[in-house]
Each structure stands twice: as structure tokens, then as C-alpha cells.
């Protein structure tokens, strides 16, 4: 078999090593396009310039470009269909991708086929002085949740319990929304949009009915029209706050709930027309009302879950991403990993702001990783850093470290993390509570 050239947007060394372990990787050459720092550790996205530079690099490559892939959220996810179309490689259409990523358009198409499984919603302009009144006229009342039409992670998402909360949230949204709205609007210019969607550009926000319960993420793909859910990851939060505590795989949801989520997934992804690409859908199961809610659809494999699938199933689910981009049925193993359960933990502090004055040393990190086999720890801060400078944080806390762990069972996994967390020593100055 001839060697296949696969270009990865934002490829870093850690993921290069992970991709090298995929099935068939001996026949692949992975190449980076766009530096990882341009799409990962920043909130400034000159997407037009990045696309132009990427296209120039790929055209000048001189050999066949067999696939272009990415495993990150905005801007990578939205760049891929444009880049793939220009180079003639496989991807779902830009319009089908935007029916997932443009939150208002996504809710409109969801309402057409699974209306009973989504919250009440409306779009609003945060710069409109009458925005709160218009939200009420649309039938939404306190409490509700607001977020940008396009965002990544939990950034700029707020629970609104009062007019004062709304005023504070809108101030933040008006101040920061431009960093995403401007590049996202550039993407929208390349798509054919319905009039009602075109009027709601990246500078708008969503207001939605509060939903909740047991949160999870269903990972899936579509290959030549066949929609395949292949794993569900539980998303657990810290008590009484919106911040994530860990992602855990496999899910402990009841089997019938998982089956219903899979059925809903097949229905909505078929309606959207999404094809030949990976995706994941975030759901809630309200156990009290026995009701399932669809939170949002993401057009990529979740990078945070790669190690979980590798630990439990035997290979990162980047396998799915690569196989689909090459036009192949994904060769994803099942339960062939070293652990029965795995999780990504978020080690957090709940300050408004602070300056980091101490972090665990390299030697301390290595000792902990050896003490708990299969563990990987990545620090997100360094001495002298102001917490408020961290990109991609939620509105309530700061993640100081990510910890991936595996175990034979959930109890052992949680106990091991608790013991490890006690030995992660950070210190701070100039704390704002």
C-alpha cells in the first residue's frame, strides 16, 4: 500500500505521538498545517489569513494530499470543510456542519424533528437595549441560560436568575464576543444560509430554557449515510456549579436511556444531512422527569476523550477521524484497552482571579504519574501567570491541571484521583475571591 499523506490542522507533538498508534498508521504520514498555538492557546483567530496560508502550504506540498483533519473546536472545525473543498479531500458539507455549530440554526433544524427533546430558545442581540424584553416576549423567563451563537467549551455562558445577572452577562458578552463573531462571520459568508439564519450572525446570542440532569456526550460518525454512535462519555460537574469535574468513560447511564439517545442521534444527524465525518452530541437525562434533552452538537471527535478511548477500547477515537477522511469505514476497536474505566479530571480553583506563585515541579509530576500507572498530568498554568489570562475557561473557575487516569472500576478511579489531587501543590498571590 502506498503511503497516505494526512494533514492535521494544529498538530502538536503529543497528538502526533497518539496518531502514530492508530491502526494502519504504518501506512500514514502525518503533517502539521497551521501552528497549534494559533488555534489552541489563543482567543484571536485570523481565520481568513490562516485558510490562505494553509491552502498555499498544501498546494505547494508536491505530493498527493490524501486527507485534511482536525480534532479541535473553533476555528479548526469550521475551517475544515472550506479547506477540504479547496483541496478536493473528503469532508461533510459546510452547510451541514453549520447546522450543528451555528447554535440558532441548529435549534431550528432540531425543532423540525425532535422538538420534544430540546429546550425553549430564542436568539437575541446583546447590543440591543431591549434584549431582555424581547427574550420575555419569546416566552423565556428567569431562570434561563445565555451563550454566544458560536462559542467553544463553556466560554461566555451564563445562568441568568435576575435582571442584574443579565446586565452583567451582557456586559461580558459585548466586551468579548467579537473575538469569535468576526471569524465566524467570515465562515458564514462561504455558506448558503436561510434568510432567518443569515439575520442571526456571529454577533448574536442564544437564550435557552434551563435544562439539566445527568450530562453525557455521545460520540459518533456518519459513513456514506450510515450513522454510527460508538461510545457515551459521562460529564460530571462540581457540586452546585457549572464547572466540569471529570469526563468518565464508559457511561453508567441506564441501557434504555443510552439506546434512546442513540435513536435521537440517528434522527437528527440524518435530518441535517451530515455525512462522512465524526461528531459528538451532548445530552442531559433528567432522571426525576425521565426526560432526555439535547444540549448541543459538535462537529469533531472530542480531543478530551481521546485518551479515555485509548485506555478502555485500545486506541484513540482519532481513528474514526482519520479513517473517515480517507474514505474508509472506521476501524475502531471495542474494549481492548488496559482499563475498564477511564476519566479526565479537571483540577480547579474557584477564584475570580489570582497570580500563580507555585506549581508542581516536573519531578513531582513524574513521580505521581509513576505512582498511578496510566496517568497523564498536564499543567495549564505556570508561575507568574494571571489566571484571567487563561484561554477557554468557563465563567466560574480556572482549570489548573488536567489529569487522565484509568482503573478497574469507578470507585478505584475516584479514590486514586482524590489521593493524587492531594499531592498537587499550587499557591497564589493577589487573590480576588
- Which regions of the chain are under pLDDT 50? none
Confidence at residue 391, expressed as pLDDT on a 0 to 100 scale:
81
Confidence at residue 1, expressed as pLDDT on a 0 to 100 scale:
66
pTM above 0.85, yes or no: yes
Interatomic CA distance for residues 381 and 387, integer angstroms: 8
Confidence at residue 393, expressed as pLDDT on a 0 to 100 scale:
81
Sign of the dihedral defined by the CA atoms of residues 211, 216, 219, 224, in that order: negative
Confidence at residue 154, expressed as pLDDT on a 0 to 100 scale:
66
250-259's contacts with Cβ under 8 Å and 24+ in sequence apart are 250/312, 250/341, 251/216, 252/410, 253/214, 253/216, 253/285, 257/285, 257/292, 258/232
Domains observed in the chain? 4-95 (3.40.50), 120-210 (3.30.1490.20), 341-432 (3.90.1170.30)
Print the SS3 string covering the chain.
Answer: CCCEEEEEECCCHHHHHHHCCCCCHHHEEEEEECCHHHHCCCCCCCHHHHHHHHHHHHHCCCCCCCEEECCCCCCHHHHHHHHHHHHCCCCCCHHHHHHHHCHHHHHHHHHHHHHHHCCCEEEECCCCCCHHHHHHHCCCCCCEEEEECCCCCCCCCEEECCHHHHHHHHHHHHHHCHHHHHHHHHHHCCCCCCHHHHCCCCCCEEEEECCCCEEEEEEEEEECCEEEEEEEEEEEECCCCCCEEEEEECCCCCHHHHHHHHHHHHHHHHHHCCCCEEEEEEEEEECCCCEEEEEEEECCCCHHHHHHHHHHHCCCCHHHHHHHHCCCCCCCCCCCCCCCEEEEEEEEECCCEEEEEECCCHHHHHHHHHHCCCCEEEECCCCCCEHHHCCCCCCCCEEEEEEEEEECCHHHHHHHHHHHHCCCCCEEEEEEC
Confidence at residue 75, expressed as pLDDT on a 0 to 100 scale:
92
Confidence at residue 396, expressed as pLDDT on a 0 to 100 scale:
81
Amino acid at each position: 500500500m502506498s503511503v497516505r499523506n494526512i494533514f492535521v490542522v494544529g498538530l502538536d507533538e503529543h497528538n502526533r505521538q497518539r496518531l502514530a498508534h492508530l491502526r494502519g498508521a504504518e501506512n500514514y504520514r502525518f503533517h502539521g498545517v497551521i501552528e497549534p498555538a494559533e488555534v489552541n492557546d489563543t482567543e484571536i483567530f485570523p481565520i481568513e489569513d490562516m485558510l490562505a496560508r494553509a491552502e498555499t502550504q498544501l498546494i505547494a506540498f508536491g505530493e498527493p494530499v490524501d486527507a485534511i483533519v482536525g480534532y479541535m473546536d473553533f476555528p479548526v472545525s469550521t475551517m475544515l470543510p472550506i479547506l477540504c473543498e479547496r483541496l478536493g479531500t473528503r469532508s461533510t458539507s459546510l452547510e451541514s456542519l453549520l447546522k450543528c455549530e451555528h447554535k440558532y440554526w441548529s435549534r431550528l433544524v432540531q425543532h423540525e424533528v425532535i422538538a420534544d427533546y430540546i429546550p425553549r430558545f430564542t436568539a437575541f442581540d446583546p447590543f440591543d437595549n431591549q434584549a431582555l424584553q424581547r427574550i420575555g416576549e419569546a416566552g423565556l423567563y428567569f431562570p434561563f441560560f445565555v451563550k454566544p451563537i458560536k462559542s467553544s467549551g463553556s466560554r461566555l455562558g451564563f445562568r441568568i436568575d435576575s435582571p442584574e445577572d443579565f446586565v452583567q452577562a451582557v456586559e461580558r458578552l459585548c466586551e468579548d464576543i467579537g473575538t469569535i463573531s468576526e471569524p465566524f462571520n467570515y465562515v458564514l459568508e462561504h455558506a448558503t444560509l436561510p434568510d432567518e439564519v443569515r439575520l442571526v450572525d456571529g454577533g448574536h446570542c442564544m437564550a435557552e430554557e434551563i435544562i439539566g440532569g445527568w450530562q453525557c456526550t455521545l460520540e459518533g460518525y456518519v459513513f456514506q449515510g450510515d450513522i454510527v454512535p460508538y461510545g457515551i462519555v459521562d460529564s460530571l460537574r462540581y457540586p452546585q456549579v457549572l464547572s466540569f469535574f471529570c469526563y468518565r468513560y464508559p457511561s453508567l447511564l441506564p441501557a434504555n436511556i443510552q439506546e434512546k439517545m442513540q435513536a435521537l442521534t440517528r434522527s437528527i444527524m440524518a435530518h441535517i444531512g451530515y455525512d462522512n465525518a465524526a461528531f459528538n452530541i451532548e445530552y442531559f437525562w433528567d432522571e426525576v422527569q425521565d426526560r432526555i434533552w439535547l444540549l448541543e452538537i459538535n462537529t469533531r471527535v472530542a480531543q478530551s476523550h481521546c485518551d479515555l478511548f485509548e485506555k478502555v477500547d485500545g486506541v484513540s477515537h482519532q481513528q474514526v477521524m482519520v479513517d473517515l477522511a480517507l474514505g474508509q469505514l472506521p476501524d475502531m476497536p471495542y474494549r481492548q484497552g488496559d482499563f475498564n474505566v477511564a476519566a479526565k479530571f479537571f483540577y480547579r480553583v474557584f477564584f475570580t482571579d489570582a497570580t500563580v506563585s507555585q506549581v508542581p515541579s516536573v519531578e513531582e509530576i513524574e513521580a505521581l504519574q509513576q505512582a498511578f500507572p496510566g496517568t497523564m498530568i498536564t499543567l495549564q498554568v505556570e508561575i507568574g501567570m494571571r489566571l484571567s489570562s487563561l484561554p477557554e475557561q468557563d465563567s466560574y473557575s480556572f482549570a489548573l491541571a488536567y489529569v487522565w487516569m484509568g482503573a478497574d472500576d469507578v470507585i478505584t478511579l475516584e479514590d486514586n484521583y482524590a489521593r493524587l489531587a492531594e499531592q498537587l501543590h499550587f499557591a497564589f498571590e493577589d487573590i480576588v475571591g
